[in-house]
Amino acid sequence: MTAKIAYDDVEVGTELPAQDFPVTRATLVQYAGASGDFNPIHWNEKFAKEVGLPDVIAHGMFTMAVAVRVVTDWVGDPGAVAEYGVRFTKPVVVPNDEDGALIEVSATVAAKLDDEERTVRVDLTAKSADQKVLGMSRAVVRLA
């Protein structure tokens, strides 16, 4: 699969379609099974609070992964993401109820990097409970 978005059709300031990602305790258990990360801060409320967290929190790598889906869904090919990095600024707190938490992600093309390579930098904003949960979230994407 190749990128569906043409480099020449993208301008700096282009906004990608924003997405919301619900996260429940069940989601965290599924992710723990897939990733092998069974740290109790991600499933044991008592333990999470004993170590100073407000409640169970989502895995950082899970948060990072759902955020970049805004980019991969937009470009149409996960392989088009050449680089991706974030700083974790706040945890995604996941209450023990049917609603859980919501990760809200928006993204904007911040720069055209290389005309020959057809790469752009996409800056992402990820929030949960009105707090920014990822900082310096940036992806370099190769376009068609």
Long-range contacts of 112-119 (CB under 8 A, 24+ apart): 112/7, 112/10, 112/12, 113/140, 115/7, 117/142, 118/7, 118/142, 118/143, 118/144, 119/82, 119/143
* In a domain? residue 47: yes
Q: Does the pLDDT of residue 142 top 80, yes or no?
A: yes
Indicate which CATH number applies to the domain containing 42: 3.10.129.10
The confidence score (pLDDT) of residue 84 equals 98
- Asked whether the beta carbons of 104 and 128 are under 8 A apart, the reply is yes
> How many domains would you assign to the chain?
1
Q: Does the pLDDT of residue 55 top 90, yes or no?
A: yes
How much of the chain, in percent, has pLDDT values that exceed 70? 99
* In a domain? residue 2: no
Residues 6+ apart with CB under 8 A from 8: none
* In a domain? residue 1: no
Cα gap 142→7, rounded to integer Å: 8
Q: State whether the Cα torsion 73-75-76-80 is positive or negative.
A: negative
Q: Say what the pTM is.
A: 0.94
- Asked whether the beta carbons of 106 and 18 are under 8 A apart, the reply is yes
Per-residue pLDDT of 77-123, as tens digits, reads 999 999 999 999 999 999 999 999 999 999 999 999 999 999 999 99
Per-residue pLDDT of 5-26, as tens digits, reads 999 999 999 999 999 999 999 9
User: What residue type is assigned to position 103 of the chain?
Assistant: I
Q: Does the pLDDT of residue 1 top 90, yes or no?
A: no
The confidence score (pLDDT) of residue 2 equals 73
Domain coverage including residue 70 = 7-142
- Asked whether the beta carbons of 20 and 59 are under 8 A apart, the reply is no
Torsion angles phi and psi, residue 123, rounded to 5: -100, 130
